[in-house]
Amino acid sequence: MFVLKAGNNETILTSERYENRSGAINGIKSVQENSQILSRFENRTGEGEQPHYFVLKAKNGKIIGVSENYPNTQNRDVGVNSVHENGCTTRIKDKIKGEEITCLEIIVNGREEEWDKNTMSFEELITLAFNNSGQNTIRCHTVTYSDGPKSNPQGSMVVGGMVNVKPKMIFNVTATDKS
Amino acid sequence: MSQLQINRKEDLKQLRDEGYDVTIFDGHIVVRQIPFVNSNREIKYGILLSEYNISGEEIQKPKNHVMRFSGEYPCHADGSEIAGIKHSALNNKLPSGIKINFSFSNKPQGGFNNFYDKFISYIRIICAPAFSLDNSAIPNSFNPIEVSETESIFKYLDSNSSRAGIESINRKLENQKIAIVGLGGTGAYILDLISKSNVKEIHLYDGDVLLNHNAFRSPGAISLETLKQKPNKVDYYLELYSNLRTGIHAHSQFISNQNMQLLSDFDYVFLCLDDNEIRYSCAVFLRSNNIPFSDVGLGVYSYRNELLGSIRVTSSSPSKMDHLENHIPKTNEKDENEYSTNIQIAELNCLNATFAVLQWKKFCGFYQDLKRGHSISYSINDSNLINGDYET
């Protein structure tokens, strides 16, 4: 299972239990994506002194995380905002292995690709785009990206370039030599 | 001969831009295709003519209110003569063969200030009966406007620019000599676009013949008969675009390291080749000769039964040329791996050509260019248009 923590180290979202590690990784990716869409949050009211909570759902309606309990709806709304803001983080601490990992999914030439760093160099991208075929690295490629983080929301890259990466960032790597 | 004179005279230009068939010859300003009703209540077409005075090269204001007419006497819708314009019957023949049958007189207070007012005033009186009988009988017919080779590179008047009043911006392109190296899909679309500009010369370089698949990524519609004849690409395009303009020169040869000197005399060059080694040699040659150019290229491939890819234009000008190595491919892919494709689709060739022509026109000051970017790219699946490599 995994938890999402706010900057003050307070847990703001808790997942279900997964059978294996890769299931949990997929759950993290799902939170990164769905927490950015406010309509995926659902407010709920239970019983007791702190009856208010919310759940985060995937597109198919499956619950991927449950919040803490709150005494009133105002506090609950603060919690929703916090998950919405922090949910796209790529800093993942693996408590079992005792290491910090990065886990995100990006789109390279229309394919979904897993990436484990917060940055991407031109050379890494060429390798990723052409499945390590190596042959293509000598060629001139037209490389563009969109949906990037605030530091580099969209642009182009050339040899030696490096950009910051965020989940669902779109890269296109093309040999543009036909006319 | 006369369209340049008309261009310079605001009242005549206005008549022409509104679709009237205006010319100047035999000492007259002439407006043809004037519908009127004759005494048998039939719709006929006549010609209005007005004499003019010239001072220096400038046509002066109308000297009088008298208008001449070639045709039967214009009548009301019931066939009775329009008496209010009657002046005198004539029997003059002009050198061009036009016969003047009548002169009309209908003077407003203070006379006519310009030829637009004068012609429109008579046209209203003469044409109204014809229009009342048949609403397709209109005097401003927007007929094609012929121009002579000495006054224009176009075979007929560029009324698109004239009506828009952008001739002074057009002048930034005239006298230019342009080369298009490679007449594949993108090169052909570049020709399609710049043929409509008033550049003086367009030189086409390509040694290939026009083949079946070219027809599906080129402008226009190539006939089966044409394809069967297997013409050289450059000859085919020369013939096609000579319908519109003069100044196109066909060179049925490939540019290579041996004849690259051919490019040394151009104001701007479009590189639209598929051979990356020649492409890169051309780019280096042009850069070292300070000749501005744009190199184009596209790449398309399929993934999960959909197409995606990117379009690129890399431009070089004397003020920015240090970025070419990062963008212009220099080697040909020898081993055919799974990623090399030759998918080209007409709208992508066309878009690539459009971006290249925009880059050229920005370089010429035809379009405003705030950032002076020398690298344009567009990726399909995120509609991401990037401008880069700014002039520093």
Read off the pLDDT of residues B140-173 as tens digits, 9 standing for 90 and up. Answer: 888 888 777 777 888 887 878 877 778 789 889 9
**Which chain A residues are Cβ-neighbours of B331 within 8 angstroms?**
138-139
pLDDT tens, position by position, A68-106: 999 999 999 999 999 998 888 877 888 877 777 777 889
Please name the residue of chain B whose CA is at the shortest distance from the CA of residue A168. Answer: B382
Domains and CATH numbers, chain A: 3-89 (2.30.29.80), 104-174 (3.10.20)
What per-residue confidence (pLDDT) applies to B188? 97
Pair A133, A112: CB distance under 8 Å: no
Q: Is the pTM of this model over 0.80?
A: no
Q: Where in chain B is the domain with CATH 3.40.50.720?
A: 176-390
**Distance separating alpha carbons of residues B170 and B174, to the nearest angstrom:** 7
What is chain A's percent helix, strand, coil content, to nearest 5?
Answer: 25, 35, 40
Q: For tokens 């006369």, name the residue.
A: B2
What per-residue confidence (pLDDT) applies to B248? 97
CA of B176 to nearest chain A CA: how many angstroms apart? 24
Query: Which three-class secondary structure state does DSSP give residue B93?
Result: strand
What per-residue confidence (pLDDT) applies to B335? 46
| Angstrom distances, CA of residue B289 to CA of B275, B283, B314, B319 | 21, 10, 17, 13
**What is the CATH code for B176-390?**
3.40.50.720
Q: What percent of chain A has pLDDT over 90?
A: 53
What per-residue confidence (pLDDT) applies to B340? 60
Long-range contacts of B384-391 (CB under 8 A, 24+ apart): B384/A144, B384/A145, B384/A146, B384/A154, B384/A170, B384/A172, B386/A144, B386/A154, B386/A155, B386/A156, B388/A155, B388/A156, B389/B320, B389/B323, B389/B327, B390/B320, B391/B317, B391/B319, B391/B320
Segment (H or E) for B191: helix B185-194
Nearest to A176 among B311, B340, B381 (CB): B311
**Contact A110/B304, CB-based, under 8 Å?**
yes
- Please, what are the averages of pLDDT over each run of 10 residues along chain B (392 residues)? 77 91 89 95 95 82 92 95 92 89 89 92 94 92 79 82 80 95 97 96 96 90 93 96 95 96 97 94 96 96 93 96 91 60 90 98 96 96 96 84
What per-residue confidence (pLDDT) applies to A91? 79
Structure tokens at A107: 């789109």
**Distance separating alpha carbons of residues A43 and A4, to the nearest angstrom:** 18
pLDDT interval class at A24 (50, 70, 90):
confident
Please name the residue of chain B whose CA is at the shortest distance from the CA of residue A108. Answer: B381
The answer to whether A139 contacts chain B (CB < 8 Å) is: yes
**Distance separating alpha carbons of residues B13 and B3, to the nearest angstrom:** 9
Please provide the average confidence, as pLDDT, over all residues in chain A: 88
Q: Which of residues 191-230 of B touch A (CB under 8 A)?
A: none
**Which chain B residues are Cβ-neighbours of A111 within 8 angstroms?**
303
pLDDT interval class at A20 (50, 70, 90):
confident
The answer to whether A152 contacts chain B (CB < 8 Å) is: no
What per-residue confidence (pLDDT) applies to A139? 61
What type of residue is B271? L
Q: Which of residues 330-389 of B touch A (CB under 8 A)?
A: 330-331, 333, 335, 337, 339-340, 342-344, 349, 352, 375, 377, 379-382, 384, 386, 388
**Contact B303/A109, CB-based, under 8 Å?**
yes
Positive or negative: CA dihedral A104, A105, A109, A111: positive
Please name the residue of chain A whose CA is at the shortest distance from the CA of residue B278. Answer: A177
Residues 6+ apart with CB under 8 A from A165: A90, A104, A106, A115, A117, A118, A119, A120, A148, A149
The answer to whether A153 contacts chain B (CB < 8 Å) is: no
What per-residue confidence (pLDDT) applies to B374? 97
Residues 6+ apart with CB under 8 A from B154: B147, B198, B244, B245, B246
Structure tokens at B7: 């261009």
pLDDT of residue A14 exceeding 80, the answer is yes
What per-residue confidence (pLDDT) applies to B339? 53
Mean pLDDT of A3-27: 87
pLDDT of residue A140 exceeding 90, the answer is no
CA of B179 to nearest chain A CA: how many angstroms apart? 16
What per-residue confidence (pLDDT) applies to B2? 72
What per-residue confidence (pLDDT) applies to A132? 59
The answer to whether A172 contacts chain B (CB < 8 Å) is: yes
Residues 6+ apart with CB under 8 A from B224: none
CA of B172 to nearest chain A CA: how many angstroms apart? 28
**Contact A154/B386, CB-based, under 8 Å?**
yes
What per-residue confidence (pLDDT) applies to B336? 47
